[in-house]
Structure 1
Amino acid sequence: MDEFAFHKGCAYGTVLVDVEAGRGVDVLPDRTSETFAAWPAEHPGAGIICRDRASVYTKAVKEPAPDVREAADRRHLLQSLSAAVKKTCRQHRNRNCLRKHTEEEATVANLPEPPPMLLPSAELPRTQIVERTRHRYEDIHRLLEKG
């Protein structure tokens, strides 16, 4: 379910879509919780309602159909995430946090590179399961060689 504009800024409706069947189910004349709340009672059988995060629909789903599971759709989740990232970036850009951090990284980048660390070889401990796995590996390759 999602709202849409009949006339932008003036009149909005709600469209209901069966995602599994890939077809529209119904169009409601407005986007009020009262109008939608009547729909599940008249059309039982919906197991999951995928909706945006508008609080209008939360109440409308819970009261008439408490057994129906709600899910947020990917488009609205990504839209909310995108808005949050833009807002955060805008806030930090205005405070010069990002520029300051970039300048610090440039200063650090001029330091000489530390010498590489020599690490011991990764030797597995001699446990029963490790030994059994090694023997199976050897058996498999022996059988492969035999064809």
Structure 2
Amino acid sequence: MSVGLAFAGRAGARMTDAFKVLVSRNTLLRLIASLPDPVTAVPRVVGVDEYAQRKGRVYGTVLVDVETRRLVDLLPIGRRTRSRPGSPSGPASRSSAVTGRPSFAEGATPGAPQALQVAGRWHLRHNLGESAEKCLYRHRGCLHPMPVQPEELQEEAEPAASPWPTGHRFAERIRAKHATIHALLAAGHSKRSVARQLGMALNTILRFSRAATAEEMFIGQWQSRATRLDGCKLYLDQRWQEGCTNAWQLWEEIREQGYPRGYACVRAYVSRTLRSKPQPVGPRPPSARAVTRWILTHPDALPKATGSSSKPSWPIAPS
């Protein structure tokens, strides 16, 4: 029995061979399993946490005596701390150290109403970080920097030489797109991020990024045609600058003013012209996880360098 307790199955069987006593490892394990459980006092401080039976899928609950650091019990999934007879429910129990999970608190309250529940420092910080990150994801629109119009856009807006005359609507549209895309890429945005912001396909962003100048994008010469929407474009541009970006609402407004055509023309003008106009370019906004790290870090420990993963050096747009 002593050999089994000291060496368990296989090692114990090898040790008994040295003593010329033939005992199998299963016999040693059976003898160990037949021993009664040692009598232990009711723990005064109990730690409650999860353990993985199958990581990512099946979890159980583990009870540990915090003072002696000995295992109290392993509860299968779905069991609560009140199901354990040795849980801190007696008069000797004074505190119960639990994690931040609500299910643990719900199980400990009926079983030990007089116990003081304390959340671990790691769980408290982890739960605070998760809550802050979820809040930042809901308000991630406020993380965009304040609009800053770079001088590069104004310089590139008027090229010296072009196969199209200045003022041609298709030429100006391509020049504006080319200037905006290159300014965003120079500010640190990825190509996929630029495609999402401008509502353009990734392949189109790639073609514009490969072109050193806007003139390389001029494939042919299109002749502009007058449309019935031309008389309403000034009003649409003004309403777009005021913040109205709903094409259906814009169509209803100009229809009340006498526009005879359908919604498709307004939707095409909004998607192809208004949404592709040069936008104010600024540094790449930080991610919600980076801002969460700033919130949970002491101000004296924040880095002074600028960038998406460091302390912000630019104002954040108000919500």
Looking at structure 2, the residues matched to 98 and 18 of structure 1 have their Cα atoms a distance apart, in angstroms, of 49
Match of 1:42 in 2: 86
> Closer, same or farther in 2 for the Cα pair 1:21/1:98, shift >3 Å?
farther
> Closer, same or farther in 2 for the Cα pair 1:98/1:77, shift >3 Å?
farther
Question: Matched residue pairs, number?
Answer: 101
Asked which structure has the greater CA Rg, the reply is 2
Match of 1:25 in 2: 72
- For structure 1, the 5+ residue unaligned runs are 105-147
Q: Aligned residues: percent identity?
A: 28
Match of 2:116 in 1: 69
> Closer, same or farther in 2 for the Cα pair 1:90/1:99, shift >3 Å?
farther
> Closer, same or farther in 2 for the Cα pair 1:64/1:89, shift >3 Å?
closer
1:100 aligns to what SS in structure 2?
coil
Which region of structure 1 is more displaced relative to structure 2, 77-86 or 43-52? Answer: 43-52
Following TM superposition, by how much is the alpha carbon of 1:79 offset from its aligned partner in structure 2, in angstroms?
Answer: 0.3
Following TM superposition, by how much is the alpha carbon of 1:98 offset from its aligned partner in structure 2, in angstroms?
Answer: 5.3
- For structure 2, the 5+ residue unaligned runs are 1-47, 148-313
Match of 2:103 in 1: 56
Looking at structure 1, the residues matched to 86 and 136 of structure 2 have their Cα atoms a distance apart, in angstroms, of 46
Deviations 1:53-92 (A, max 9, x none): 2222223212122111111111110101222333344444
Looking at structure 2, the residues matched to 22 and 100 of structure 1 have their Cα atoms a distance apart, in angstroms, of 53
Tell me which of the two structures has the higher relative contact order, counting C-alpha pairs closer than 8 angstroms and 6 or more residues apart.
Answer: 2
Looking at structure 2, the residues matched to 54 and 81 of structure 1 have their Cα atoms a distance apart, in angstroms, of 12
User: Is contact 1:50-1:71 (8 Å) kept?
Assistant: yes
1:78 aligns to what SS in structure 2?
helix
Looking at structure 2, the residues matched to 21 and 31 of structure 1 have their Cα atoms a distance apart, in angstroms, of 26
User: What's the C-alpha RMSD, in Å, of the aligned pairs?
Assistant: 2.8
User: Is contact 1:5-1:12 (8 Å) kept?
Assistant: yes
User: Is contact 2:99-2:123 (8 Å) kept?
Assistant: yes
Following TM superposition, by how much is the alpha carbon of 1:8 offset from its aligned partner in structure 2, in angstroms?
Answer: 2.5
Looking at structure 1, the residues matched to 71 and 146 of structure 2 have their Cα atoms a distance apart, in angstroms, of 51
Looking at structure 2, the residues matched to 59 and 72 of structure 1 have their Cα atoms a distance apart, in angstroms, of 13
Following TM superposition, by how much is the alpha carbon of 1:31 offset from its aligned partner in structure 2, in angstroms?
Answer: 4.0
1:4 aligns with 2:48: no
Looking at structure 1, the residues matched to 58 and 69 of structure 2 have their Cα atoms a distance apart, in angstroms, of 26
Looking at structure 2, the residues matched to 82 and 59 of structure 1 have their Cα atoms a distance apart, in angstroms, of 22
User: Is contact 2:60-2:77 (8 Å) kept?
Assistant: yes
Match of 1:109 in 2: none
2:112 aligns to what SS in structure 1?
coil
Looking at structure 2, the residues matched to 54 and 27 of structure 1 have their Cα atoms a distance apart, in angstroms, of 17
Match of 2:145 in 1: 99
Letter of the 2:120 counterpart: D
Following TM superposition, by how much is the alpha carbon of 1:2 offset from its aligned partner in structure 2, in angstroms?
Answer: 0.6
- TM-score, normalised to structure 2's length? 0.28
User: Is contact 2:100-2:127 (8 Å) kept?
Assistant: no
Match of 1:16 in 2: 63
Looking at structure 1, the residues matched to 119 and 128 of structure 2 have their Cα atoms a distance apart, in angstroms, of 13
Deviations 1:103-138 (A, max 9, x none): 47xxxxxxxxxxxxxxxxxxxxxxxxxxxxxxxxxx
Letter of the 2:129 counterpart: S
> Closer, same or farther in 2 for the Cα pair 1:100/1:18, shift >3 Å?
farther
Letter of the 2:67 counterpart: E
Q: Which structure carries more strand by proportion? A: 1
Looking at structure 1, the residues matched to 97 and 78 of structure 2 have their Cα atoms a distance apart, in angstroms, of 15
Letter of the 2:82 counterpart: A
Following TM superposition, by how much is the alpha carbon of 1:96 offset from its aligned partner in structure 2, in angstroms?
Answer: 4.1
Looking at structure 2, the residues matched to 20 and 56 of structure 1 have their Cα atoms a distance apart, in angstroms, of 23
